[in-house]
Amino acid sequence: FKLLGFLDVKNVPCARESILYGSVGSFVVGLGHFVATSRVRRSCDFAVGSFVCTMLGYWFYCRYNYAQHRIRQRMIREGMKNKLLFEGSSLDPERKQTSNERSNS
């Protein structure tokens, strides 16, 4: 579904989790503030503020981890491609190590 008409929660990475964590955080903070002070309007203000802070905080955390994961995947993919490309040739790093070990023995 689309949130606010433009954010496709199903296809955007980290959007669903961010909204869920934000809503749980807002509920906890709003309820906690209401139990402590019994002020409804102020508790709703705290709930909205905590929703925004929690959602944005988790959004940045999740996107950072997602970017790191994609970088690691790209490095592994390139390494596998290079291994297939250079395997058995004179540029193969494993072949150089074995030939150096043989000459040292």
Domain membership of residue 65 (yes or no) is: yes
pTM of the complete model beyond 0.85 = no
* Whole-angstrom distance, CA of residue 101 vs CA of residue 94: 11
* Whole-angstrom distance, CA of residue 102 vs CA of residue 8: 59
Domain membership of residue 40 (yes or no) is: yes
Nearest to 23, CA basis, from 48, 59, 1, 57: 48
Domain count, the chain: 1
Supply the range of the domain harboring residue 22.
14-82
Domain membership of residue 30 (yes or no) is: yes
Domain membership of residue 105 (yes or no) is: no
- Which residue has 């959004």 as its token pair? 59
Q: Would you tell me how many other CB atoms lie within 10 Å of the CB of residue 50?
A: 20
Tokens found for residue 7: 């954010």
In tens, the pLDDT along 66-92 reads 999 999 999 999 888 877 777 777 766
Tokens found for residue 39: 């002020």
Q: What is the pLDDT of residue 10?
A: 76
Nearest to 62, CA basis, from 26, 16, 24: 16
Domain membership of residue 29 (yes or no) is: yes
In tens, the pLDDT along 20-60 reads 999 999 999 999 999 999 999 999 999 999 999 999 999 99
Domain membership of residue 67 (yes or no) is: yes
Nearest to 47, CA basis, from 26, 23, 66, 17: 26
Domain membership of residue 5 (yes or no) is: no
